[in-house]
Amino acid sequence: MMNFNLNDLTLENLGQWPKPIKISVVVALSVLLIGLGYWLIAKDNFAQYDALQIQEKALKSDFEIKQHQASNLQAYRNQIEEMKERFGNMLKQLPTQNEMPGLLEDISKTGIASGLAFELFAPLPEVPHDCYIELPIKTVVVGNYHQFAVFLSRVAQMGRIVTLHDFIIERGFSENGKQKSTSGDQLRMEMTVKIYRYRTQ
């Protein structure tokens, strides 16, 4: 092995350096350049690459959602048309303000035709909602079970939306505020009948 003094190694006699020293210097310089290159150039690129990968996943997910929506676009349009048709049919079941008196009369006639006797048929104040107005009617009728069933069935078959609420069924009927028992199967039914009309404003 050659003897050498590190003090004798200068840039002027670079060509005369021993081969192992030259290789060590070249390797050290290479490692230094690679490290500097990674720190100054590649590190930011790797960070940008990671950010782009995350963005790619988000874009793929967004694309899949939009592709699914686009593939079902016709089905959505069909559903909207069906909903519009149903909404239109429902609106037809809501009377206008001018038709309300006629509907009240129809309900009253339906009760009488079913064999019921009306003790009370009193419209209450209207209750406005978002797109419709509700008119509750406090109702008290007297009749037997079969007549009640016929009345309820006929109301359900009416071409307008009519709902019945707050049932109280008692045996007998009140007279001057007092309970009075009756013979046979006579019953007294209190309820709130609600009818609805389309809100134009």
pLDDT digits (tens, 9 = 90+) for 98-137: 667 777 888 888 888 988 888 888 888 988 887 788 889 8
Place of tokens 């006629």: 102
Give the pLDDT score at 1: 45
Percentage above 90 pLDDT, the chain: 4
Where are the alpha helices (H) located in the chain, listed in sequence order?
A: 19-37, 43-71, 73-93, 100-113, 145-156
User: What is the CB neighbour count within 10 angstroms for residue 163?
Assistant: 13
User: Structure tokens of 32?
Assistant: 């230094």
CA distance 19 to 15: 9
pTM comes to 0.49
Give the pLDDT score at 102: 78
Task: Give CA separation, 4 vs 1, 8, 20, 23, 62, in Å.
Answer: 10, 7, 12, 16, 68
Task: Give CA separation, 80 vs 53, 84, 90, 103, 125, in Å.
Answer: 38, 6, 15, 31, 35
The dihedral sign for the CA sequence 59, 63, 65, 66: positive
CA distance 123 to 134: 11
CA distance 64 to 154: 52
3-class state of residue 86 by DSSP: helix
pLDDT in tens, the chain (201 residues): 455 555 556 666 666 667 777 777 778 878 887 777 777 676 677 777 788 888 888 888 888 888 887 887 888 888 888 887 777 666 666 666 666 777 788 888 888 898 888 888 888 898 888 778 888 989 999 999 899 899 888 888 887 778 888 888 888 654 544 445 444 578 898 999 888 877 665
Give the pLDDT score at 52: 85
CA distance 189 to 18: 118
